[in-house]
Structure 1
Amino acid sequence: MPGHPGSHDSAESRPSVQWLEVAPEWAGQRLDNFLMGRFRGVPKSVIYRVIRKGAVRANRKRVKPDYRIAAGDSIRVPPLHEPEQKPDRAQPGRRVQRRMQAAVLHEAPDFLVVNKPAGIAVHGGSGVDFGLIETLRAGRDDRYLELVHRLDRDTSGLILVARRRSALKALQDQFRQKSTHKVYRVLVVGEWPQAVNRVEAPLQRVTGGTGERLVRVSAEQGKAARTDFRVLERFPGYTLLEARPLTGRTHQIRVHAACQGCPVAGDAKYLDGASQAAWQRGGGDRLMLHAQQLTFETPAGERVTFEAPVPDDFEAQIQRLGKHQ
């Protein structure tokens, strides 16, 4: 009879105990974080409860939430009820998957170097169904892919993606220790001051009137931030710069440029309405900020530099300005 405890239908509908073998990519992670990543739909409280009760075991032994899993560990997980994924949630299609795969500039065993197109978020959320990381996961066989750092949605250029947890930690440590070097190409509105080659202005995150995330200069509450700038070329009403952020604050280059009276061209957050309208009337349709170069040490100990070509749409805007000189 359908629904009888011993029937085939009932047995298939009930969640069962799972045994998960830890792949090398996940070694060193805390048990609780590992399970929350594997069972994203299960509340954290449920994860912690089954661990405390001893229902989760590593190599048949009881373990605590902070247990560091090792490659080859056999993790016993009791039945967990995950809510079904919403059927109307958009997934990255084949076309966007191919586009993102084409943006991968370099593949190494521990990491990927991706030349992110402008207009694509690095991850889903806040009204975005999926971003760069979800698209890469959908289109590749990698068992582990995590963002090492971030780029604003409208900024193009180089971003690192870790393929192993050990690589994620090693690479993120470099960003925290400021031992990586980043170079951006940026077009700003106005005449960049000839004497300014470094901006040191503390930055504070704030929430705008509409709830959007913004950053402002604040000597009292801001965190230290420093950016080096170099003039590459001057155009009527605009200046092409090279920017080297020596710290990694949110919107750092954009706000440091704006506080000099030269906001980034196409920057809807920090450019005044009249200047934005003028930029768009001239054919501008993107934020003119590109992460062009990235230098770091690989997990294998090699110091490397990668460079992302200036995108065609960015270069087209520069060429347009050059014709008016």
Structure 2
Amino acid sequence: MRDERYTDPGYEDPDELDGGEGGEELYEHFTVTVDKGQSLLRLDKFLVHRMEHCSRNRIQAAADSGSILVNGTPAKASYKVKPLDRISIVMPYPRRDTEIEPQDIPLDILYEDDDVILVNKAAGMVVHPGHGNWEGTLVHALAWHLRDVPMFQEGSERAGLVHRIDKDTSGILVVAKNETAHAFLARQFYEHTTYRRYVALVWGDFDEDEGTITGNIGRSPRERQKMYVFEDGSDGKHAVTHWRVLRRYGYVTLVECRLETGRTHQIRVHMAWQGHPLFNDARYGGDRILRGTTFTKYRQFIENCFELMPRQALHARALGFVHPTTRREMTFESGLPDDFRAVLDKWDAYVAARPEAAEDE
């Protein structure tokens, strides 16, 4: 049997161990080709014998969710493996030993049923524990809110997670509430079939109304705390971001970003690479005046904006996926938070008072 194991070092993230606009760090992918001499054997038993530290329950949950493919077709746990079968499986990573103590932290819940919960995460909240953020995370809040749900009673720091957004990014996250839903959602994020829309305020203007940024993303070879675009494709992971202009302010632009892939800091690093760092993104150079006049009044205006929103101007506005049980497509939206709206209001007022500041208005 040839074992082509996909692994990802995701839990050594450069930010506050909070990942990025993706979820590839939260699941693992195995692809195997069965030996010619393999005798008929149940699929779950076959995989248990060949996958390290993987229980039969995890494999059965993956099969129930349609996340095990044999020769490209979803297979049941009872399927009899045959010689030269090509088996592909996507599963959430096994839970860690770190025990989470539930904390009574308010959550903005957009939707909840027996399989999933949709949360509107506030900026400043870390998704799961990591260096410097051992308490007060979204996972701690979920452990409290879902304390009667079996998956969340074991104190796992990865319970239900299939994707993440940065600490200082606001917006929508979906979390699974059982093993089958977890595996089903994990495959959708792995295959990039989810619907995700972000809103960002970026420095500079664009010649076009929409476009696509393609560039491999990996950890910066010079600064470990940053991600980096490898233009020649020699390193990093394939990443694609589609964008379109929502509102032009001349010196800054409001854009919508659609993720085709989901890499750590993808929107932030892609936009910075194109010369459009996110407004007030300290990590990628957006926390200083990059466009505009040298007048003291303008500098004070920008500083006031930074004070209103002391974080990168990025919000996960929409998320869509196929429901694990109903198999129906579901889409959820989240309005811009108060700090983001306040900054846009200031730019609206600035442009209204100085029409020449917005050349394309």
CA pair 204-323 structure 1, distance change in 2 beyond 3 A: same
Query: TM-score scaled by structure 2?
Result: 0.61
CA pair 66-252 structure 1, distance change in 2 beyond 3 A: closer
Say which of 214, 217, 220 aligns to 1:206: 220
Tell me, yes or no, if structure 1 residue 118 matches structure 2 residue 131.
no
Shift of 1:187: 0.5
Say which of 146, 151, 155 aligns to 2:165: 151
Q: Distance in 1 between matches of 2:194 and 2:98?
A: 41
Matches within 5 A, 1:102-113: 103-113=108-118
CA pair 303-221 structure 1, distance change in 2 beyond 3 A: same
Say which of 295, 299, 324 aligns to 2:320: 295
Match in the other structure for 1:282: 304
Matches within 5 A, 1:189-200: 189-194=203-208, 197-200=211-214
Say which of 243, 252, 261 aligns to 1:247: 261
Q: Distance in 2 between matches of 1:135 and 1:247?
A: 28
Q: Distance in 1 between matches of 2:103 and 2:184?
A: 32
CA contact (8 A) 2:109 2:117 kept: yes
Match in the other structure for 1:260: 274
Q: Distance in 2 between matches of 1:176 and 1:149?
A: 10
CA pair 279-143 structure 1, distance change in 2 beyond 3 A: farther
Q: Distance in 2 between matches of 1:115 and 1:84?
A: 25
| Same amino acid, percent of matched pairs | 33
Identify which of structures 1 and 2 has the higher relative contact order when contacts are C-alpha pairs closer than 8 Å and 6+ apart.
2
Tell me, yes or no, if structure 1 residue 314 matches structure 2 residue 340.
yes
Shift of 1:279: 7.9
CA contact (8 A) 2:322 2:328 kept: yes
Query: TM-score scaled by structure 1?
Result: 0.68
Q: Distance in 2 between matches of 1:111 and 1:239?
A: 34
Q: CA RMSD in A?
A: 2.8
- Deviations along 1:87-139, whole A, 9 cap, x unmatched? xx9x6754xx1x22xx1110011110111001111001111013101221023
Q: Distance in 1 between matches of 2:119 and 2:184?
A: 18
CA pair 67-171 structure 1, distance change in 2 beyond 3 A: closer
Q: Distance in 2 between matches of 1:84 and 1:229?
A: 39
Q: Partner letter of residue 56 of structure 2?
A: R
CA contact (8 A) 2:209 2:245 kept: no
Q: Distance in 1 between matches of 2:231 and 2:300?
A: 29
CA pair 172-265 structure 1, distance change in 2 beyond 3 A: same
Shift of 1:250: 1.0
Match in the other structure for 2:194: 180
Q: Distance in 2 between matches of 1:84 and 1:261?
A: 40
Unpaired segments ≥5 residues, structure 1 = 1-62, 72-82
CA pair 84-306 structure 1, distance change in 2 beyond 3 A: closer
The structure having more radius of gyration, on CA atoms, is 1
Q: Distance in 2 between matches of 1:116 and 1:201?
A: 28
- Deviations along 1:174-200, whole A, 9 cap, x unmatched? 011111110111100111232651111
Shift of 1:252: 0.9
Secondary structure of 2:171's match? strand
Q: Partner letter of residue 143 of structure 1?
A: P
Match in the other structure for 2:229: 216
Match in the other structure for 1:53: none
Q: Distance in 1 between matches of 2:211 and 2:54?
A: 47
Q: Distance in 1 between matches of 2:255 and 2:267?
A: 11
Match in the other structure for 1:139: 145
Q: Distance in 2 between matches of 1:112 and 1:228?
A: 27
Q: Distance in 2 between matches of 1:315 and 1:186?
A: 12
CA contact (8 A) 2:109 2:119 kept: yes
Q: Distance in 1 between matches of 2:347 and 2:202?
A: 12
Q: Distance in 2 between matches of 1:279 and 1:135?
A: 37
Shift of 1:222: 2.6
CA pair 153-278 structure 1, distance change in 2 beyond 3 A: farther
Shift of 1:321: 0.6
Q: Distance in 1 between matches of 2:329 and 2:56?
A: 29
Q: Distance in 1 between matches of 2:120 and 2:98?
A: 34
CA pair 270-68 structure 1, distance change in 2 beyond 3 A: same
Secondary structure of 1:324's match? helix
Match in the other structure for 2:244: 230
CA contact (8 A) 1:179 1:296 kept: yes
Q: Distance in 2 between matches of 1:203 and 1:290?
A: 21
Q: Report how many aligned residue pairs link the two structures.
A: 242
Shift of 1:269: 0.9
CA contact (8 A) 1:236 1:324 kept: no
CA contact (8 A) 1:133 1:146 kept: no
